Chain A
């Protein structure tokens, strides 16, 4: 699935994302000393016991998919109401901006991943899409990639299914660029959002996961690098609402 020689391994340890090493023979890489990636121990594929984050918790990679699934099962019923309440309707503006950027025309082959439901929908896995190579003009993913266990694989899949000349667009929570707004945003995220989740949807934990998973996601620049590593060119990003969200764009040549 991953093209040999062109994939990079990203690992999350401590507080940031960093490029571990290039080369796909390092599957199962696990870094256990924060900030000291070069001395990371290599594990053979048989002994893969990789861990990842689930919000601020640490879980095994195998567990994460199931746990994310449970979260979305739980929030599905009140999803739209909660989005409106939490963002005061601003999420609609963000999504509008994404569409505006994308400027789809009649005939455009568009794939929207992690879309929930849509006009014509297919059940699949972002890390292993049920589509042939070079099929779509535009690939979008809005507020979905943050929850994928192996983001690099999802990016590689996006690259694979896009036609040459095709465009990758991602709308996702990102890092706030203003210190004062960042403090207010943290306050709101951690003090108010889980309460809203509990009162409106009877679900504290899913919304606690939401705000934590946002903090775990790479910054605008880090994510840009990850997209480039998946083979995309002309990668750019635009921060919206002081960086609360960002739209990343890249092209397959």
Chain B
């Protein structure tokens, strides 16, 4: 029975790239042989990914303030989808540039002074206003680095998706309260197909009151889905080169319409 189990265990518990056939390696494996592919990378076996996915999903539901768990869920369930997203970025000229140049949105890369000086109504100025109104402190903190994606380029793609999230709030005009977050998740689910977005879109509303739920289902979700389907992939936008572009013009370009109502006071 042990001999039958061994290959199964090796598959489940082996690290990506690990070649050694020694029987005990997969069970106690660490990075030897399967070194990290990028800084902060933690190679994990299929079993660990499964456990992480289940655990992070449960913990995120139990404690919605554990944003790190949502990130872990995304990383452990997104491999296939990230490949599709990456390939689709490669086919788009602006997306391909992003993959090439790997821009990051963080305190070190954002010139807050410059954004502040941009005209009203520009993407950069409105983005700053959004951060301000929704209580993000300056200097703006960076999103936690990717750890569980076993491919260096895909690790960047998911990092980019996370860093672009606030841009989506600005584009959609959605605040960062629970209702606003759910609406953005629906948009992202349709746009990216990431399992974490889909799970978040369906399970997020669990904690909502009846009235908010009603508004969500009857107005906001249909609007988000419609816009998500109509807009080209938002990961293909080189936001850093579009700071001066007027937000209205960008919305028109993407086919994003005004939200059906003002969400701020609702949730």
A positions within 8 Å CB-CB of B: 55-56, 183, 186-187, 189-192, 194-196, 198-200, 202, 204-205, 208, 212, 215
Q: Does the CB pair A190–B69 fall under 8 Å?
A: no
Distance (whole angstroms) from the CB of B162 to the closest CB of chain A: 17
CB–CB B51/A190 < 8 A = no
| A204 close to B42 (CB less than 8 A) | yes
Q: Please give me the residue from chain B that is nearest to A188 by CB atom.
A: B27
Establish whether residues B45 and A191, one from each chain, have CB atoms under 8 Å apart when the complex forms.
yes
Query: Judging by beta carbons under 8 Å apart, are A186 and B59 in contact?
Result: no
- Chain B residues with CB below 8 A from A186, complex form: 24, 27-28
The complex places the Cα of A187 from the Cα of B51 at a distance, in Å, of 13
Q: Does B9 contact A (CB under 8 A)?
A: yes
Shortest C-beta distance, B90 to chain A (Å), equals 31
**Is B32 a contact of A56 with CB atoms below 8 Å?**
yes
> Which of A186, A198, A215 is the most central at the interface, judged by chain B CB atoms within 10 Å of its CB?
A198
- CB within 8 Å for A190 and B27 given contacts A199-B69, A202-B68: yes
CB contacts (< 8 Å) of B28 on chain A: these are 186, 189-190, 215
10 A/B residue pairs, CB under 8 Å, sorted by A: A56-B32, A186-B24, A186-B27, A186-B28, A190-B29, A191-B45, A191-B48, A195-B48, A198-B72, A202-B68
Judge whether B184 is part of the interface by a CB distance below 8 angstroms.
no
User: A90 → chain B, closest Cβ, in Å?
Assistant: 20
Q: A199-B59, A204-B42, A208-B30 are in contact. Are A187 and B52 (CB under 8 A)?
A: no
Q: In the complex where A187-B9, A187-B13, A204-B42 touch, is A195 in contact with B51 (Cβ < 8 A)?
A: yes
Tally B residues with Cβ within 8 Å of A.
23
When distances are taken between beta carbons in the complex, the residues of chain A under 8 Å from B24 are 183, 186
Q: Are B68 and A192 in contact (CB under 8 A)?
A: no
Chain A minimum-CB-distance residue to B58: A199
* A contact patch SS: helix
Report whether A212 and B30 are in contact in the complex, using a CB–CB cutoff of 8 Å: yes
B30 touches A199 (CB 8 A): no
* 9 interchain residue pairs of minimum CB distance: A199-B55, A186-B27, A195-B51, A186-B28, A187-B27, A190-B28, A56-B30, A191-B47, A199-B59
B56 within 8 A of A: yes
CB-nearest residue of chain A relative to B27? A186
User: Which residues of B from 37 to 77 have beta carbons under 8 Å from A?
Assistant: 42, 45, 47-48, 51-52, 55-56, 58-59, 66, 68-69, 72
Report the separation of the CA atoms of residues A189 and B45 in the bound assembly, to the nearest whole angstrom: 13
CB distance from B186 to the nearest CB of A (A): 26
Among A187, A208, A212, residue most surrounded by chain B Cβ atoms (within 10 Å): A187
CB atoms of A199 and B52 under 8 A apart: yes
Instruction: Given A195-B55, A199-B69, check contact A183 B48 (CB 8 Å).
Output: no
Determine how close the nearest CB of chain A comes to the CB of B64; give it in whole angstroms.
Answer: 15
Interface string of B134-165 (1 = CB under 8 A from A): 00000000000001000000000000000000
B residues 122-140 in Cβ contact with A at 8 Å = none
Whole-angstrom distance from the CB of A202 to the nearest CB of chain B? 5
Q: How far is the CB of A55 from chain B (nearest CB, A)?
A: 8
Give chain B residues whose Cβ lies under 8 Å from the Cβ of A187: 9, 13, 27
Closest approach, in angstroms, between the C-beta of A205 and any C-beta of chain B? 8
A15 CB, nearest partner CB in chain B, Å: 12
Residues in A with CB closer than 8 Å to B45 are 191
- Option from A55, A190, A195, A205 in Cβ contact (under 8 Å) with B52: A195
B59: A residues at CB distance < 8 A: 199-200
B30 touches A192 (CB 8 A): no
